[in-house]
Amino acid sequence: MKTKSCSTAFMVATSTLIVIGAAAGVQSGELASSCEEPLVFSGAAVNNYVKPFTGVKDPTLPLDESGRMLGLLVLFDGLYSQIGHGSLGFINLVVDPRSKTDCSDKAILERVMGKRCCAKDQVRPGHAVTLLSGSFETIGDDIYLMLKVEFMRKNVEETVDIPLVDAAGENQRFTGRLPRTSVFLTPRRFTRVQLFQVADAYLSDVRLRESPSDSVSGELLEGNIGEGFSFTVLEARDDWMRIEPWGVRGRNRDPGWVKIPRAIGQANLRDLLPGLYFLDATAIYLQTVVAGETIAPGRYRRNLRGFEERREQFRRRAGKGGDQKALGLLDAMHGFMLLSSAQPAAALDQAAEDFAQAAELLPSNTDALGLAAISRFSISFRDRTQTEEFVRGSALPELEKTLLRIIDADPGDFYGKVNFERLCVLRQQLGDSGWETPDISRLRERLRADSLLLQKDAEPFEMVPRMEPNR
């Protein structure tokens, strides 16, 4: 019997509800939090928000109800799937169609980040959020659901240092940025029958029971939605979670068991919505980078395996269009996770493969292009045998060409400017000659006049003046 254990480290009371915090790692959920005043589990490294899925206007089909119930099924499924990979919060958002409050994705993220009134708490600096939203579209008699996943960390941009290792073992760096932080996934087809079955799946499975058994009827959790029902996961076993419920006035029920809905009718939920694998992988990536250097080696390896499993599951079910772009982003995330390990130089080759795949799947994205070019250059720099041969080779001009292309495509790209200046300094230190044309000199002057560039890149790019061949 497979069992996952979770425990709370402390509880922090607010004026309106009990928030379950986490120092050692906890999984928390919330059934129904208003988009106007969204809940934030402040102790969670990653807060996952799920909006109700809406879109079709059809008086014969209660899509609002189906979309709301489908969001709840997704919440339980995602929370169960991500247990064991860090400190998580899951919040199901309620959007009142009669309200004039802005409940756009942008507004919700601004609220939980503290940039707009009036979340019930704020995400901590460096911590992360994901937001899953979806909309139904009708094409003839067919109904399609398009999912969007957006994520961010508070006050942190998604970047990674790509090591540049010389023969003496001195580590220098270029900087790459994650290609994107939002993805529209390929629309997935639903039948009318499946959408009617959503409510049945919720009514039959999502009940609080005294024991993990279908024979125990239990009580429907929806009864507490109106008062901001939240809970902490105490244990997970097979397809069941034991949760401790909390309400606006604190604990209002004894702990009980909830079955995880795995299907809608005869169809597997994740076959219908493979984007859930993408959401899982994104949350695991965020857990890893939020932890940073403090992550324990065992947990890092577990996160990496969990990410790779979900990436492969998504890859097997991926469609065209948005799914391919999402795969490119997952490849880039994997490279970031590898380079965030305790030995990034040792992970460079695998990370470079990831970045090359990302650039292939995101051919018009300059961030993906930069990651692939810089990591390829770093490998060439590491594997050179003599400095003179390396200077006469193609690696330096090829990277220069790519960085110039990036700067030309996006003159506001800070990291493209920084990496170009670092490359220029490197060429000087290697004794390269004849590369700095008048146009390059004028470009460098303009870039170095950028006060933001000088402020953010204050650390000198130092290397040993003379490098011996690698042994």
* pLDDT, average across residues 3-16: 29
Tens digit of each residue's pLDDT (9 = 90 or more) over 64-105: 778 888 888 898 899 889 888 888 888 888 877 777 888 899
* pLDDT, average across residues 315-342: 94
Helix axes 297-317, 322-339, angle to 10 degrees: 160
380: exposed, middle or buried (C-beta count within 10 Å: 0-12, 13-18, 19+)?
middle
Q: What is the pLDDT of residue 195?
A: 84
Please give the residue that has the higher pLDDT: either 167 or 357.
Answer: 357
Q: Which of 19, 152, 166, 30 is nearest to 93 (CA)?
A: 30
Please give the residue that has the higher pLDDT: either 140 or 116.
Answer: 116
- Measured between alpha carbons, how far is 248 from 8 in angstroms, rounded to an integer? 18
For the chain, give every domain's residue range: 3-156+186-272, 159-182+275-456
437: exposed, middle or buried (C-beta count within 10 Å: 0-12, 13-18, 19+)?
exposed
Structure tokens at 133: 């939203």
pLDDT at 370 over 90: yes
- Measured between alpha carbons, how far is 151 from 108 in angstroms, rounded to an integer? 12
The DSSP bridge partners found for residue 173 are 163
Assigned fold of 159-182+275-456: 1.25.40
Tens digit of each residue's pLDDT (9 = 90 or more) over 379-435: 999 888 888 889 999 999 999 999 999 999 988 888 999 999 999 989 988 888 888
